[in-house]
Amino acid sequence: MIVALDAASTDLSVAISAPDGTLIAQETWSSARRQSAELLPRLLALLHGARQPLASMTAVAVGTGPGSFTGLRVAMAVAKGLAAGLGRPIVGVPSLLAWLDAEPDAACAVARAGAREAYVLVRGADRPRIVDGDELAALPRPIVAGSDVATAFGLQGGIAPRAAAAIARRGAVRLAAEPAGDDLATLEPIYVRAPRGVAAESGERVRWL
């Protein structure tokens, strides 16, 4: 059983799937400031409801962002704790790719990058880019966007990300090819740039966790 987590925005999700990625159960919800208090209890409740003991977890897959700095750290900490505690492999999955997987008709995915900017991944692009909030109105539709972005920039008609099931599917593909998964010690979120107030001009690797 694969456990999957995504907290790259204020719209969070957890899922459990069979080792081949077939969904067993998923829960989604919105939380602006309580990711650290809610993520693990929601996962445990999902497992209980599906009658799946945590010990039956064979791997954990986690959304790596970019997106909410706090949410990414919380999800990564929970995922790493599960992987280390149970001795299971861990795989990181880019969150915005999973958002687009979860919504096949969406043209792009948008996550908040700060007070006036957003991360944007257009379907088919190699990587996300950072754009000014004023540019979001010109993006192709439909858009998968966290409710924090939609509120901050007045986006209308955005689809809230509910991507843990898609993260589980991508995780299953990765694990089929690479059973060991990612390196537990070095896996970290995709931040694209240093957070506000952190200087990274030295050129050395920035440690987040």
Q: What distance in Å separates the CA atoms of residue 15 and residue 164, rounded to the nearest whole number? A: 5
Q: Can you tell me the distance from the alpha carbon of 67 to that of 112, in angstroms, rounded to the nearest whole number?
A: 6
Question: Which amino acid type is present at position 119?
Answer: Y
* Structural tokens at position 90: 């861990």
CA distances from 206 to 79, 124, 127, 184, 200 (A): 20, 29, 20, 17, 7
Quote the tokens at residue 49.
């409801």
- Angle between the N-to-C axes of helices 69-86 and 35-49, in degrees from 0 to 180, rounded to the nearest 10: 50
pLDDT above 50 (res 201):
no
pLDDT grade, residue 31 (50/70/90)? confident
Confidence of residue 196 (pLDDT cuts 50, 70, 90): low
| Structural fold of domain 2-97+162-177 | Nucleotidyltransferase; domain 5 (3.30.420)
pLDDT at 26 over 50: yes
Alpha carbon distance 49, 170 (integer Å): 24
Percentage, residues of the chain above pLDDT 90:
74
What are the tens digits of pLDDT across the range 139-186?
999 999 988 888 888 888 889 999 999 999 999 999 999 999 999 999
Domains of the chain, by residue range, sit at 2-97+162-177, 103-153
